[in-house]
Structure 1
Amino acid sequence: MSTDVQKAAELLAAAAGTATPCPPIRDLFADGDLDAAYEVQRLNTERMLAAGRRLIGRKIGLTSAAVQRQLGVDQPDFGALLSDMALGNGETVPAGRLLQPKVEAEIALILGTDLTSPDCTTADVRAATAYVCPALEIVDSRIADWDITIVDTVADNASSGLFVLGDTRVPIDDLEPADVGMRLYRGGELVSEGSGRDCLGDPLNAAAWLASTLARRGDPLRAGDIVLTGALGPMVPASPGDVFSARISDLGSVRISFAPEGDT
């Protein structure tokens, strides 16, 4: 393992531990070195698991064609979901819990069986999915001012923060994920909208990519895992006191609040 990988992992871990964003870490590696970036992510995930946190699933990022073009990539990325990243529907994010939060609405899959094929298809994902629910992902960055490239975000656990699952549980056969519509509100204001087709054409495409990628890495998705399949519309910055709610057709709604500044 290179010292640069270790240094990047330590910088990101320190930023999380001190609640002080760090400069971009991309200059430690060759341009676009995703293998090194995923190694940084792996080191810090192992660090978190050793501290008693528990892996409960994965998130998929960069599922928007526009964002991929912006970062100069042609594929999504992924990060780990840990048990203490989950908040209940309608709960409040404590002040100071995150550094630079942004909110996006997604479809979440909860798996009923393992997905171990390195050539996973959308049909495989459907067969493995126990149910589907609406979700909010609250992304965050340990990199100052969100000054990120693909290497920075991958190393930083795909800019993971927190997530919220809605209370609705819908069998996968009762909807077509590509056809859902999404509206995200901050208070009563519509701030983002999109559809299932804005997520790699179909959230199931994103999930099949993730399952195949993890299987090839020897770390496949397992029964019980939560899969956040990627944003259905643009992410929106969150400020203290904000209240966000998303409505996803055929799936229902999900809500999260941010504590006012100074609350404990």
Structure 2
Amino acid sequence: MKDTARLAEMVLAARLDGKMPAPTREWYGNTDIDDAYQVQEKVLKEMLRRRGGKIIGRKVGCTNQAARDLLGLDGPFHGALLSVTATESPARIAKDDYPFIILEPEFALRIGSPLRPGGGTHTAESVADAVDAIVPAVEIVSSCHDEWTDAGPALLIADNGSSYGWVRGEPVTDWDLEMLTNVTVSLIVGAHRVASGNAANVDGGPLGVLAWVANRLPLEPGDYVSTGTATSVHFAERGDTVVAHFGPLGQVEIEIS
């Protein structure tokens, strides 16, 4: 990937100054993933400098084959959850604040004890004891790139993994693996159920996704990891009232104005 500093400037101009879409077409199809994460780091550092707040965890995208097929990826990718773009349910968001809005119901995991790369490979089984709560959540996905599904993995990663917001429900500390595995997630828009799914919709389940992150990035107590959509996604429109039901794990409510 050439001129990563320029690419970071373009993403930031789109993200922070509303210069949409970013003129990034010359990078389309570039798959230099290491450079893309360097751009993401620059973008996040400047976003935090200008907007304040902090990183409160990580999101993982493309954790199932259908999502990877849509975006042309051969594996998952990660971005950061930011305090300034995270909110609690019930939430009201404005459609005009985003290039477009895709809503993804996700199982988020709150970390209770540190997880760090090195010292052996983390697995779904080995990370389970580090989770102190399951949190129902909905990620707000968007993109600064024109024709974003054709942009390629590098540009999606550079744009913080296409993560533009995150709405969380109440943490559930009284959970077990059977509950997490068997919960049905339903996405309701108005009076209509538009999607349903469960933890099996993400490869290896939510704990497997957590292990994938922990093998790459340090996670500290209090961090959240949002593990990828448990249902098909919803392209939201102004006027939508959306509820993501997570059975005994609670729900997340979002109104689009």
TM-score by length of 1: 0.89
Q: Which runs of 5+ in 1 are unaligned?
A: 215-219, 260-264
Supply the AA of the counterpart residue of 1:34.
Answer: I
Distance 2:192 2:11 in 1: 34
Task: Specify the alignment match of 2:192 in structure 1.
Answer: 189
1:76-95 matches, within 5 Å, as 76-95=76-95
- SS state at 1:209 partner: helix
Q: How many residues align?
A: 253
Distance 1:157 1:107 in 2: 19
Supply the AA of the counterpart residue of 1:122.
Answer: A
Correspondence for 1:238 among 232, 236, 239 = 236
Contact 1:136 1:164 (8 Å CA) reproduced = yes
Distance 1:89 1:233 in 2: 19
Correspondence for 2:169 among 166, 188, 197 = 166
Moved more, 36-45 or 65-74: 65-74
What's the offset of the Cα at 1:162? 1.0
What's the offset of the Cα at 1:179? 2.8
1:1-264 matches, within 5 Å, as 4-23=3-22, 25=24, 27-28=26-27, 31-51=30-50, 52-118=52-118, 119-147=121-149, 148-173=151-176, 175-214=178-217, 220-259=218-257
Distance 1:26 1:192 in 2: 32
- SS state at 2:140 partner: strand
Give the RMSD, CA atoms, in angstroms: 2.0
> 1:161-204 CA deviation, whole Å, 9 max, x = no partner?
11111125233426443332211011111112111111113111
Contact 1:177 1:204 (8 Å CA) reproduced = no
Contact 1:175 1:250 (8 Å CA) reproduced = no
- SS state at 1:161 partner: strand
> 1:69-107 CA deviation, whole Å, 9 max, x = no partner?
333333100001111111121120135322211101010
What's the offset of the Cα at 1:149? 1.7
> 1:95-144 CA deviation, whole Å, 9 max, x = no partner?
53222111010101111111013321112321111110211111111112
Supply the AA of the counterpart residue of 2:6.
Answer: K
Q: Which runs of 5+ in 2 are unaligned?
A: none
- SS state at 1:96 partner: helix
How has the CA–CA distance of structure 1 residues 22 and 95 changed in structure 2, closer, same or farther, with 3 Å as cutoff? Answer: closer
Supply the AA of the counterpart residue of 1:68.
Answer: R
What's the offset of the Cα at 1:239? 1.3
Supply the AA of the counterpart residue of 1:25.
Answer: T
Q: Percent of aligned pairs with the same residue?
A: 33
Distance 1:257 1:30 in 2: 35
Distance 1:70 1:12 in 2: 22
Supply the AA of the counterpart residue of 2:236.
Answer: A
Contact 2:28 2:155 (8 Å CA) reproduced = no
Distance 1:65 1:169 in 2: 28
How has the CA–CA distance of structure 1 residues 30 and 107 changed in structure 2, closer, same or farther, with 3 Å as cutoff? Answer: closer
How has the CA–CA distance of structure 1 residues 6 and 201 changed in structure 2, closer, same or farther, with 3 Å as cutoff? Answer: same
TM-score by length of 2: 0.91
Distance 2:29 2:148 in 1: 20
Distance 2:16 2:184 in 1: 37
